[in-house]
Amino acid sequence: MTNRRSGPPKRRSGPPRQPMAIIAVCMLGVLVLLAVFAPVLWGEEAVAADPDAIALPPSGEHPLGTDKLGRDILLRTLVATRLSLVMAVAATLMGGCIGLALGALPAVLGTRAQRWFASVISTWLAFPVLLVAMLTVILLGPGTTTAVVALALTMTPSFARLAQTLSSRVGGSEYLAAARMLGVSRRRQFTRYVLPNIAEPVIVNVTTSIGGGLLALSSLSFLGVGVQPPDFDWGRLLSEGFGQVYNSPVAAIGPGVAVVFAGLAFSMLGESLAAQLRNREHGRALPPRRLGPAPVAERPARTPAETERAETEAAPLLDVDGLSVSFPGPDGWIRPVQDVSFRILPGEIVGVVGESGSGKSVTMMSIAQLAPAGAAVTARRLRFDGEDLTGRTPAEAGRVLGTRVGVVFQDSLTALNPALRVGTQLAEIPRVHGGAGRAKAHEMAVRALDDVRIPDAARRAQQFPHEFSGGMRQRALIAMSQIGSPSLIIADEPTTALDVTVQRRVLALLRRECAESGAAAIVVSHDVAVLAELCGRLLVMYAGRIVEDVDIALLATPERLAHPYTRALAASLPDLGTDRTKPLVTIPGEPPDLSRPVTGCAFAARCAFATDDCRTEVPVLTEHRHGGRVACRHPQDAMATDAAPGREEVGA
């Protein structure tokens, strides 16, 4: 990480804290001071010829010596700061503005204008830079203005291309469509919608380019087509210095150092601006030293009753106990998954439901040893088919799982490699893990596709993912998860993007596959009804914890569900029998922000049955009389009339 912070974490925005930014700002400060004051202080001295001091080597009086007319080179270099900077900034700004107009305006002008502008920009880009510069010089004659214009013209197309790329994203956005529909004028669309959304990267790019611009202008002056005497910039001084390089080699060094210094200042400033933007986009995280060790589930190991049950029960295929997943955040660990414990028996289909961000995907990916980079996964116990996975690296644990766990990802388009034929991707698994030969593996791939009812499987195996429809890709993914004959399938939202009819086919396939092969499955969804049809048991997640673990059949009789959140979830879904005259049942409020520690029950703020102790202590997931487990102080199932002691007195 580039940022090191001193002192306690404070607000996130504010002045840049990276050392590079500080150095760049200081260097820039020096340059600006020189540009403003040097000509005032030493302007006359720098141009006054002194016949007694012609071409002197460095001395105490003239640290960099004097030139052919006896003028002090150091002073001249300092005085030249103003012209050099003004030219570079002017040229870059000019190029930036023209580029921005060319690249970004079309976003609000319609498709025909876009095409026209795009071809102008590419033609312009194709022109050699030197040719553009030379043509400008020929047309305008050498001079300061010429140099600036020439530079601006060569910079314009690359700014335009950048602005075009950025603004085409805005141009296709729904918020711009909404503005258009509101009747917002084109000018306002441009200034309020397009510009602010592309400004930051453009500013970074322009800043960085000033440094390059400075170099380019110096070369133009050096070559004699830029600044003309008696004016002088660093490039001019360089070329004069080179003229006397034999009797005073230092003469060229002063202006040279100045050019490099200023170029570096702008490049560094641009870089640190860019770093600042990146940090803001991805959120800044505390360095490991300040984060401390990854959080672990604090609950003690199992109660004796649970241990007894664990021993009498059939050996689980998957046994997860005290699983926590944390990410480094700006103010410490963010804990999207906390103390999750559950078991899956062989052949069982278990559903996981919960709101977006409740930690479903992170839990499943961590179990499959595919947790995102940066995640800290801890567990008291994580056993698959009798083998302990805790204490191994994800790569080792992944090898233990091998083909015994098949994963279906949430997004079918990104889960398949777009550059490989579908059949080749499927065949990869038996080839790598099963040691099958090429022909054998391909045959297996085609059979797997045929198994999930992809018509004409042999031909389809030769196609690329984008040639499949969404439903077919999803089926191909299921085929892929099946091909190693896994004993556990983990499916994250396998049908969310699909139409109902396709969804039902995919669900039926999954169900059939499990019934036939005896594989177990964990299926994640935010739609309880989907899980009701598919699964035997339901895990309900809220704010990173399992709040209820219940037989799926109880969903059909919601009054027998125990946790207030599960009950609200089951009641809030409109179905084909909902009373149209009444408002739908909803859950008021929002889920908590997991980047801050949550004390007590995370659902308390939205729960109608919350009491004071709910808000202070985390309810533990324990066995419940409905045969499953619940984490709630006041379970609401019908038999639990005694379960909310003193609710009236304490109040909500």
Partner 1 sequence: MAELVIEDLVVTFGHRHRAFNAVDGVSLTVPHGTIVGLVGESGSGKSTVARTVAGLQRATSGRITLDGDDLLRTRGVDRRRRARDVQMIFQDPYSSLNPRMTVGETIEEALTTHGDLDGRRRAASVRELLDLVRLKPAVAGQYPSQISGGMRQRVAIARCLAVRPRLIVADEITSALDASVQGAVLNLIRDLQRELELSMIFITHNLAAVRYIADTTVVMSRGRVVEHGDSEEIVANPRQPYTRALVSAIPRIEHAGTDHLLRFADEEGLR
Ligand X SMILES: Nc1ncnc2c1ncn2[C@@H]1O[C@H](COP(=O)(O)OP(=O)(O)OP(=O)(O)O)[C@@H](O)[C@H]1O
Q: Residue 647, exposed/middle/buried by CB under 10 A (0-12, 13-18, 19+)?
A: middle
Contact at 8 Å (CB) between 639 and 557?
no
Of 46 and 170, which CB lies nearer to partner 1 in the complex structure?
170
Question: How many Å apart are CA 221 and CA 216, to the nearest integer?
Answer: 9
Residue 578's CB: how many other CB atoms inside 10 A?
12
Of 520 and 601, which CB lies nearer to ligand SF4 in the complex structure?
601
Q: In this chain, which of 299, 381, 526, 606 binds ligand X, going by CB under 6 A?
A: 526
Minimum CB–partner distance for residue 543 and ligand SF4 (Å): 11
Question: How many Å apart are CA 599 and CA 622, to the nearest integer?
Answer: 19
Of 66 and 361, which CB lies nearer to Mg ion in the complex structure?
361
Minimum CB–partner distance for residue 337 and Mg ion (Å): 12
Residues 577/583/585/590 CA torsion (nearest 10 deg): 140
Residue 633 structure tokens: 């102080």
Question: How many Å apart are CA 108 and CA 583, to the nearest integer?
Answer: 41
Task: Quote the Cα angle for 180-181-185, to 5°.
Answer: 40
Cα-flanking dihedrals φ and ψ of residue 630, to 5°? -140, 145
Minimum CB–partner distance for residue 184 and partner 1 (Å): 6
Minimum CB–partner distance for residue 340 and Mg ion (Å): 15
Q: Which does 362 bind (CB under 5 to 8 A by kind): partner 1, Mg ion, ligand X, none?
A: ligand X
Of 116 and 175, which CB lies nearer to partner 1 in the complex structure?
175
Can residue 434 be called a binding residue for ligand X (CB under 6 A)? no
Q: Which does 553 bind (CB under 5 to 8 A by kind): partner 1, ligand SF4, Mg ion, none?
A: partner 1
Of the ranges 67-75, 166-174, 285-293, 356-364, which one interacts with Mg ion (CB under 5 A)? 356-364
Q: What is the Cα gyration radius of the chain?
A: 34
Q: Which residues bind ligand SF4 (CB under 6 A)?
A: 564, 601, 603-604, 607, 609-610, 614, 619, 632-634
For strands 622-623 and 545-551, give the pairing. Answer: unpaired
Minimum CB–partner distance for residue 482 and partner 1 (Å): 13
Of 20 and 618, which CB lies nearer to ligand SF4 in the complex structure?
618
Of 384 and 603, which CB lies nearer to ligand SF4 in the complex structure?
603
Question: How many Å apart are CA 240 and CA 253, to the nearest integer?
Answer: 11
Can residue 394 be called a binding residue for ligand X (CB under 6 A)? no
Distances (CA, A) of 595 to 183, 371, 378, 586: 40, 18, 18, 25
Minimum CB–partner distance for residue 615 and ligand SF4 (Å): 7
Of 35 and 604, which CB lies nearer to ligand SF4 in the complex structure?
604
130-133, long-range: CB < 8 A, 24+ apart: 133/220, 133/225
Question: How many Å apart are CA 575 and CA 621, to the nearest integer?
Answer: 30
Of 146 and 361, which CB lies nearer to Mg ion in the complex structure?
361
Of 234 and 327, which CB lies nearer to ligand X in the complex structure?
327
Minimum CB–partner distance for residue 336 and ligand X (Å): 3
Residue 23 structure tokens: 């150095």
Minimum CB–partner distance for residue 368 and ligand X (Å): 13
Of 149 and 614, which CB lies nearer to ligand SF4 in the complex structure?
614
Question: Across-strand partners of 184?
Answer: none
Minimum CB–partner distance for residue 413 and ligand X (Å): 16
Contact at 8 Å (CB) between 632 and 563?
yes
Closest-CB residue for Mg ion?
Answer: 361
Of 308 and 411, which CB lies nearer to ligand X in the complex structure?
411
Residues 108/111/113/118 CA torsion (nearest 10 deg): 100
Q: Residue 414, exposed/middle/buried by CB under 10 A (0-12, 13-18, 19+)?
A: exposed
Q: Which residues bind partner 1 (CB under 8 A)?
A: 173-175, 177-185, 192-193, 196-197, 355-356, 453, 470, 499-505, 507-509, 511-512, 515-516, 526-530, 532-534, 536, 551-556, 568-570, 572-576, 578, 580, 583-587, 590
Q: Which does 336 bind (CB under 5 to 8 A by kind): Mg ion, ligand SF4, ligand X, none?
A: ligand X
Using CB under 6 A as the binding rule, the residues of this chain from 347 to 366 that contact ligand X are 354, 356-362
Contact at 8 Å (CB) between 533 and 506?
no
Q: Which does 603 bind (CB under 5 to 8 A by kind): partner 1, ligand SF4, Mg ion, none?
A: ligand SF4
By C-alpha distance, which of 423, 410, 431, 412 is closest to 464? Answer: 423
Q: Per-residue string for binding with ligand X, 553-592, x by CB under 6 A?
A: ----------------------------------------
Minimum CB–partner distance for residue 396 and ligand X (Å): 21
Question: How many Å apart are CA 286 and CA 329, to the nearest integer?
Answer: 6
Of 590 and 649, which CB lies nearer to partner 1 in the complex structure?
590
Q: Which does 254 bind (CB under 5 to 8 A by kind): ligand SF4, ligand X, Mg ion, none?
A: none
Minimum CB–partner distance for residue 73 and ligand X (Å): 56
Q: Which does 76 bind (CB under 5 to 8 A by kind): Mg ion, ligand X, ligand SF4, none?
A: none
Minimum CB–partner distance for residue 300 and ligand X (Å): 26
Contact at 8 Å (CB) between 245 and 251?
yes
Of 376 and 547, which CB lies nearer to ligand SF4 in the complex structure?
547
* Structure-token match 């879904």, residue found: 573
Q: Residue 47, exposed/middle/buried by CB under 10 A (0-12, 13-18, 19+)?
A: middle
Q: Which does 327 bind (CB under 5 to 8 A by kind): ligand SF4, ligand X, Mg ion, none?
A: ligand X
Q: In this chain, which of 248, 326, 361, 566 binds Mg ion, going by CB under 5 A?
A: 361
Three-class SS string for 270-336?
HHHHHHHHHHHHHCCCCCHHHHCCCCCCCCCCCCHHHHHHHHHCCCCCEEEEEEEEEEEECCEEEEE
Minimum CB–partner distance for residue 604 and ligand SF4 (Å): 4
Minimum CB–partner distance for residue 652 and ligand SF4 (Å): 9
Q: In this chain, which of 64, 132, 150, 594 binds ligand X, going by CB under 6 A?
A: 594
Distances (CA, A) of 74 to 45, 90, 229, 240, 458: 11, 25, 18, 13, 78
Contact at 8 Å (CB) between 323 and 341?
yes
Contact at 8 Å (CB) between 402 and 484?
yes
Question: How many Å apart are CA 429 and CA 447, to the nearest integer?
Answer: 14
Of 307 and 599, which CB lies nearer to ligand SF4 in the complex structure?
599
Contacting residues toward Mg ion, per CB under 5 A: 361
Contacting residues toward ligand X, per CB under 6 A: 327, 334, 336, 354, 356-362, 372, 374, 526, 594
